[in-house]
Chains A and B, each alone.
Chain A
Amino acid sequence: MTLTAEKGAPMKGPVLGRRRLLQAGGFLSLAFALPLGDVLAQTAAPARPPLPGSLQTNRMLNAWIRINADKTVTLLVGKVELGQGILTAVAQICADELDIDMARLKIIAGDTALTPNEGTTAGSFSMPNCAPAVRHASAEVRAILLDLASKSLNQPVTALTVADGTITGPGGAKTTYWDLVVGQALEREATGQSTPKAASAYRYTGKSVPRLDIPAKMTGEPIFVQEMRPEGLLHGYVVRPPTYRAKLASVDLSVGERMPGVVKVVRDGSFLAVLAGREEQAVAAGQALYAAAKWDVEKGLPGTDGMPEWLTSTKPARVIETRNTPRQGGDAPVKTVEATYYRPYHMHASIGTSSAIATMGADGVVTIQTHSQSVFETAEAISKMLKLPREKVRCQHVQGSGCYGHNMADDAAADAALLAVQMPGKPVRIQYTREQEHRWEPYGSAMVVKTKAGVDKDGNVLDWDFQIYSTPHGTRPGGNPGNLLSARYLAEPFQQPTPQNGGPPNYSADRNGIALYEFPGHRVLTHFITEMPLRVSSTRGLGAYGNVFAIESFIDELAHAAGADPVAYRLKFMKNERARDSIVKAAEAFGWDKWRKRDGRGRGIGFAQYKNTAGYCAVCLEVEVNKRNGRIRVLRAVASADSGHLVNPDGVVNQIEGGLIQSLSWTLKEEVKFDDTRVLSEDWASYPILTFAEVPPVDVVLIDRPGQPFLGTGEASQGPTGAALANAVFDATGVRFRRLPLTPDRVRAGLTA
Chain B
Amino acid sequence: MVAFKLNDKPVQVDVPANAPLLFVLTNDLGVAGAKFGCGRSQCGSCTVLVDGDPVRACATPVSAAAGRSVTTLEGLRENGKPSRLQQAFIDEQAAQCGFCASGMIIQAQALLDRNPQPTENDVRSALNGNLCRCGAHNRIVRAVLRAAKEA
Residues of A within 8 A of B (CB): 13, 82-85, 208, 210-211, 213-215, 217-224, 226-227, 229, 235, 260, 278-280, 349-353, 399-402, 404, 431, 433-434, 650, 654-655, 657-662, 665, 683-685, 689-693, 695, 697-698
B126 nearest CB across to chain A (Å): 9
Measured in the bound complex, the distance between the Cα atoms of B15 and A222 in whole Å is 23
B133 within 8 A of A: yes
Q: Are B135 and A657 in contact (CB under 8 A)?
A: yes
B124 within 8 A of A: yes
A291 nearest CB across to chain B (Å): 18
Residues on A with C-beta less than 8 A from B93 are 208, 210-211, 214, 650, 654
0/1 interface trace, chain B 133-146, chain A, CB 8 Å (1 if under): 11111111100000
Question: Contacts A219-B82, A684-B40 hold; do A280 and B97 have CB atoms under 8 A apart?
Answer: no
**Beyond A661-B137, A685-B40, 7 additional pairs, beta carbon < 8 A:** A217-B95, A219-B82, A279-B27, A657-B139, A683-B42, A684-B43, A691-B128
Residues on A with C-beta less than 8 A from B96 are 83-85, 402, 654-655, 658
B52 within 8 A of A: no
Measured in the bound complex, the distance between the Cα atoms of B35 and A350 in whole Å is 13
A276 nearest CB across to chain B (Å): 11
Residue in A219, A279, A657 whose CB lies within 8 Å of B86: A219
Q: Are A698 and B89 in contact (CB under 8 A)?
A: no
- Contact sample, A vs B, 29 pairs, CB 8 Å cutoff: A82-B97, A85-B96, A210-B90, A214-B90, A215-B90, A218-B101, A229-B27, A278-B15, A280-B23, A351-B45, A351-B100, A352-B36, A352-B45, A353-B37, A400-B97, A401-B97, A401-B133, A402-B97, A433-B39, A434-B38, A434-B40, A657-B138, A662-B134, A662-B135, A691-B128, A692-B137, A693-B128, A695-B137, A695-B138
Q: Are A434 and B39 in contact (CB under 8 A)?
A: yes
Measured in the bound complex, the distance between the Cα atoms of B137 and A351 in whole Å is 14
B73 within 8 A of A: yes
Residues on B with C-beta less than 8 A from A698 are 138
Measured in the bound complex, the distance between the Cα atoms of B44 and A198 in whole Å is 46
Residues on B with C-beta less than 8 A from A349 are 133
B3 within 8 A of A: no
Q: Are A351 and B37 in contact (CB under 8 A)?
A: yes
Q: Are B139 and A654 in contact (CB under 8 A)?
A: yes
B31 within 8 A of A: yes
Question: Contacts A217-B98, A401-B99 hold; do A278 and B138 have CB atoms under 8 A apart?
Answer: no
A692 nearest CB across to chain B (Å): 4
Residue in A217, A226, A278, A431 whose CB lies within 8 Å of B19: A278
Residues on A with C-beta less than 8 A from B55 are none
B96 nearest CB across to chain A (Å): 4
B133 nearest CB across to chain A (Å): 5
B16 within 8 A of A: yes
Interface size on B, residues (CB 8 A): 58
Residue in B38, B90, B124, B131 whose CB lies within 8 Å of A218: B90
Measured in the bound complex, the distance between the Cα atoms of B105 and A662 in whole Å is 21
Measured in the bound complex, the distance between the Cα atoms of B130 and A625 in whole Å is 25
Residue in B19, B72, B134 whose CB lies within 8 Å of A83: B134
Residues on B with C-beta less than 8 A from A235 are 27
B127 within 8 A of A: yes
Q: Are B98 and A218 in contact (CB under 8 A)?
A: yes
Q: Are B99 and A224 in contact (CB under 8 A)?
A: yes
Tell which of B31, B86, B132 has the most Cβ of chain A within 10 Å: B132
B42 nearest CB across to chain A (Å): 4
Q: Are B89 and A218 in contact (CB under 8 A)?
A: yes
Residue in B23, B43, B97, B99 whose CB lies within 8 Å of A278: B23
B32 within 8 A of A: yes
Residues of B within 8 A of A (CB): 15-16, 19-20, 23, 26-27, 30-33, 35-40, 42-43, 45, 72-74, 76-77, 82, 86, 89-90, 93-102, 105, 123-125, 127-141
Measured in the bound complex, the distance between the Cα atoms of B137 and A665 in whole Å is 12
B112 nearest CB across to chain A (Å): 15
A223 nearest CB across to chain B (Å): 8
Residues on A with C-beta less than 8 A from B74 are 219-220
A404 (CB) vs chain B CBs: closest residue? B133
Question: Contacts A229-B26, A351-B43, A404-B133 hold; do A280 and B95 have CB atoms under 8 A apart?
Answer: no
Residues on B with C-beta less than 8 A from A224 are 32, 35, 99
A658 nearest CB across to chain B (Å): 3
Measured in the bound complex, the distance between the Cα atoms of B133 and A353 in whole Å is 12
Residues on A with C-beta less than 8 A from B72 are 220
B96 (CB) vs chain A CBs: closest residue? A83
Q: Are B73 and A83 in contact (CB under 8 A)?
A: no
Q: Are B131 and A691 in contact (CB under 8 A)?
A: yes
Tell which of A220, A227, A349 has the most Cβ of chain B within 10 Å: A220
A407 nearest CB across to chain B (Å): 11
A26 nearest CB across to chain B (Å): 22
Measured in the bound complex, the distance between the Cα atoms of B23 and A279 in whole Å is 7
A697 (CB) vs chain B CBs: closest residue? B138
A660 (CB) vs chain B CBs: closest residue? B135
Measured in the bound complex, the distance between the Cα atoms of B32 and A223 in whole Å is 8
Q: Are B38 and A683 in contact (CB under 8 A)?
A: yes
Measured in the bound complex, the distance between the Cα atoms of B139 and A13 in whole Å is 19
B61 (CB) vs chain A CBs: closest residue? A280
Tell which of B30, B36, B101 has the most Cβ of chain A within 10 Å: B36
Q: Are A402 and B137 in contact (CB under 8 A)?
A: no
Residues on A with C-beta less than 8 A from B139 are 654, 657
Measured in the bound complex, the distance between the Cα atoms of B72 and A342 in whole Å is 44
Measured in the bound complex, the distance between the Cα atoms of B19 and A215 in whole Å is 31
Residues on B with C-beta less than 8 A from A227 are 26, 32, 35
Q: Are B86 and A692 in contact (CB under 8 A)?
A: no
Q: Are B30 and A229 in contact (CB under 8 A)?
A: yes
Pairs of residues from A and B, 9 with the lowest C-beta to C-beta distance, nearest first: A83-B97, A661-B135, A402-B97, A217-B98, A658-B135, A220-B74, A220-B33, A220-B73, A401-B99
Residue in A83, A434, A650, A659 whose CB lies within 8 Å of B98: A83
Measured in the bound complex, the distance between the Cα atoms of B32 and A400 in whole Å is 13
B102 nearest CB across to chain A (Å): 7
Question: Contacts A83-B97, A226-B35, A280-B23 hold; do A351 and B133 have CB atoms under 8 A apart?
Answer: yes
